[in-house]
Amino acid sequence: MDDDSGSLFSALMGRLFRKTDDSEVERFILEAQRDGELRGEESAMLLNVLRLSRRQVTEIMIPRTDIVCAPADNSIEEMALLIAESGHSRIPVYRKNRDNMVGIVHAKDVLRALTQPDEFPRPARAETIMREPLFIPETKNVYDMLQVFRSNKIHLAIALDEYGGTSGLVTFEDVLEEIVGEIEDEYDTPRPEDIQTLEDGSVLVSGRTPLEELDERMGLSLTSDQVETVSGFLCELAGRVPDPEESFAIDGHTLTVKEADAKQIHWIVLRRGDSPAARNH
Ligand code: ADP
């Protein structure tokens, strides 16, 4: 970044974080890019910052079923294995079930406990070394989430649903990715693409794909006031979680459930055209 665009960039960041009228700032950024005062990636980042306050934690969190967690009475050795296997450095721990998270175990505390048996007499348990979790409502917007991470100096939070149950997990890295794009550290297992074209021309779609993204990529017009994802959309249509192989004819396309569990659809296959077996919507 040269000096001029550097100072413009920080001036814009200042304005964004003071929350000026969004559409005015958006126009300003796009004009600056058109005039060559901002580079493409700079304006993309700034637009992403603007959008933070329009996105909810639910849209970026790791859903409850994918959280790597453990019972609070697990031994320190079991925690060490879980950290090594999963590659995650912080593991939420629960009592009874995942809806009752009671602490977060950090890899460095596990290391300390393993190497200082005098201070942590055996049998040492996860609950001996766990730290207090940061809980936030799943409806929090991502901009506010960033502020919470900054003010608490804690970079992992457990999102709760309206009944106080665990809804997901969100980290500082998830928020940063909303601004700068996907970050992969040396321990991250790459997540499969949400939308993949298969050899026969059909398209494999992850259930967690936002409706807006699918519409944009596939030229569909699926909308809902209630749900954000394709899985949520089909569950809403069916009034329950549809079974694998169930098909829906929507918008000139057939959406067939490929993989689902009791709570959500994981994968859907999308084909152009109607199939006789599909339910019409
Ligand atoms: P780590 O390097 O310990 O995995 P990061 O904050 O760098 O932690 O997060 C990387 C990604 O892994 C993020 O998408 C985050 O939500 C996810 N993640 C972190 N901890 C866990 C966990 N215990 N279970 C599932 N996903 C996790």
Residues 110 and 171 in one domain: yes
Nearest CA owner, ligand 1 atom 13: 174
Six-digit token pair at 13?
Answer: 């960041």
Six-digit token pair at 145?
Answer: 């989430």
159 Cβ neighbours under 8 A, 6+ residues apart: 57, 58, 61, 135, 136, 137, 138, 140, 166, 167, 168, 169, 170
Q: To the nearest whole percent, how much of the chain has pLDDT over 90?
A: 52
Nearest CA owner, ligand 1 atom 21: 88
Question: Would you say residue 187 lies in a domain?
Answer: no
> Residue 14 in contact with residue 48, Cβ under 8 Å?
no
Residues 99 and 171 in one domain: yes
Residues 157 and 269 in one domain: no
Q: How confident is the model at residue 151 (pLDDT cuts 50, 70, 90)?
A: very high
Question: Would you say residue 189 lies in a domain?
Answer: no
Residues 111 and 154 in one domain: yes
Residues 130 and 231 in one domain: no
50 Cβ neighbours under 8 A, 6+ residues apart: 16, 22, 25, 26, 29
CA 206 / ligand 1 centre spacing (Å): 20
Q: In whole angstroms, how far apart are CA 52 and each of 19, 39, 61, 151, 279?
A: 11, 20, 13, 17, 37
Instruction: Kindly report the number of other CB atoms within 10 A of residue 227's CB atom.
Output: 17
Residue 87: pLDDT over 90: yes
Report the mean per-residue pLDDT for the chain.
Answer: 87
Nearest CA owner, ligand 1 atom 14: 174
Of 34, 31, 36, give the one whose Cα is nearest residue 5. Answer: 36
Residues 105 and 39 in one domain: no
12-27 average pLDDT score? 67
What is the domain range of residue 210? 195-280
Number of H-type helices and E-type strands within the chain: 11, 13
d(CA 124, CA 69) in angstroms, rounded, equals 17
Question: Would you say residue 188 lies in a domain?
Answer: no
Which atom of ligand 1 is the closest one to the Cα of 69?
23
CA 11 / ligand 1 centre spacing (Å): 32
CATH number of the domain that 75 lies in?
Answer: 3.10.580.10
Nearest CA owner, ligand 1 atom 20: 88
CATH number of the domain that 262 lies in?
Answer: 3.30.465.10
CA 48 / ligand 1 centre spacing (Å): 21
Residues 89 and 161 in one domain: yes
Number of domains comprising the chain: 3
Which atom of ligand 1 is the closest one to the Cα of 156?
6
d(CA 271, CA 249) in angstroms, rounded, equals 10
250 Cβ neighbours under 8 A, 6+ residues apart: 220, 222, 281
pLDDT at 6: 56
Residues 120 and 148 in one domain: yes
60-64 average pLDDT score? 93
Between 224 and 88, whose confidence is greater? 88
Q: How far apart are the first and last CA of the chain?
A: 51
Least confident of 7-16, 145-154, 156-165, 218-227: 7-16
Residue 4: pLDDT over 80: no
Question: Would you say residue 185 lies in a domain?
Answer: no
Q: How far is CA 103 from the centre of its chain?
A: 21
Mutation test of ligand 1: which of 79, 94, 173 has the most ligand atoms closer than 8 Å to its C-beta? 173
Question: Would you say residue 91 lies in a domain?
Answer: yes
Least confident of 1-5, 94-98, 141-145, 150-154: 1-5
Question: Would you say residue 186 lies in a domain?
Answer: no
179-206 average pLDDT score? 78
CA 88 / ligand 1 centre spacing (Å): 5
Residue 1: pLDDT over 50: no
Residues touching ligand 1 (Cβ under 6 Å) are 62, 66-68, 88-91, 169, 171, 173-174, 185, 187-188
Q: How confident is the model at residue 5 (pLDDT cuts 50, 70, 90)?
A: low
